[in-house]
Amino acid sequence: MSTSRHPARWIALAVAAVVVVLGVILALNVGDDPAAGSNQSPFLGKAAPAFDLPTLSGGRVSNVSTAGKVAIINFWNTWCTPCQQELPALKDFYAKHQSDPDLALVGIVRDPQESDTTIRNYATEHGMGWTLALDPGDRAALAFATRGQPETVAVDAKGRVVASKYGPMTTADLENFLAAGRSSS
């Protein structure tokens, strides 16, 4: 049998060989996801960026005012569906820990285009009693290298980022962030 009489058979064998080689290459690279670390803050284990922001209550919140406490900083927006999904966890966590003297829960609104009135009404309607800050010019969002919302970081009492997550938090996530902050201080 000559190859000229059955070219389709040889083409099929060549395609099969290429598929096998690609399969082996893929199998050898499983777990080498280039985006695997993209869910972590670039500040993990390093000093948290400085921030000083106006709050909805008319005061200010900063890295100086949260120094000596575990600060859980949550970047969010009123219109963000994942932010709305994590809201019950934030509310439960805050209800449980609002009187903890070593904790500061800070929500930073990531959309400078949203009006203070819209944010205030949303916070009141949803019972958000923790510190809520505005981020004019996205200075804090940029300083923390956020990629979207929700995004949350935990800063220990010494000012180091000890945990981070891009995406909605659960109550267990928040408890783990608090534990990480307390254990590293």
pLDDT at position 25, please? Answer: 52
- CATH number of the CATH domain containing 154: 3.40.30.10
More confident residue, 113 or 132: 132
> For residue 185, is pLDDT > 90?
no
pLDDT at position 70, please? Answer: 97
Per-residue pLDDT, averaged over 144-164, amounts to 94
> For residue 136, is pLDDT > 80?
yes
Q: Does the CA dihedral 157-158-162-163 come out positive or negative?
A: positive
171 and 119 belong to one structural domain: yes
Q: Contact at 8 Å (CB) between 39 and 166?
A: yes
> For residue 105, is pLDDT > 90?
yes
9 and 49 belong to one structural domain: no
Per-residue pLDDT, averaged over 32-53, amounts to 72
Count the domains in the chain. 2
pLDDT at position 19, please? Answer: 58
128 and 162 belong to one structural domain: yes
108 and 139 belong to one structural domain: yes
28 and 42 belong to one structural domain: no
Of 144, 141, 142, 152, the C-alpha closest to 180 is 152
> For residue 7, is pLDDT > 80?
no
Residues with Cβ within 8 Å of 138's Cβ and at least 6 positions away in sequence, in order, are 110, 112
Q: Output the pTM of the full model.
A: 0.78
Burial of 73 (0-12, 13-18, 19+ CB in 10 A): buried
Name the one residue in this structure whose structure tokens are 């003297």: 101
> For residue 125, is pLDDT > 90?
yes
16 and 53 belong to one structural domain: no
Return the top range by mean pLDDT from 12-21, 24-33, 123-132.
123-132
Q: Which domain holds residue 9?
A: 1-32
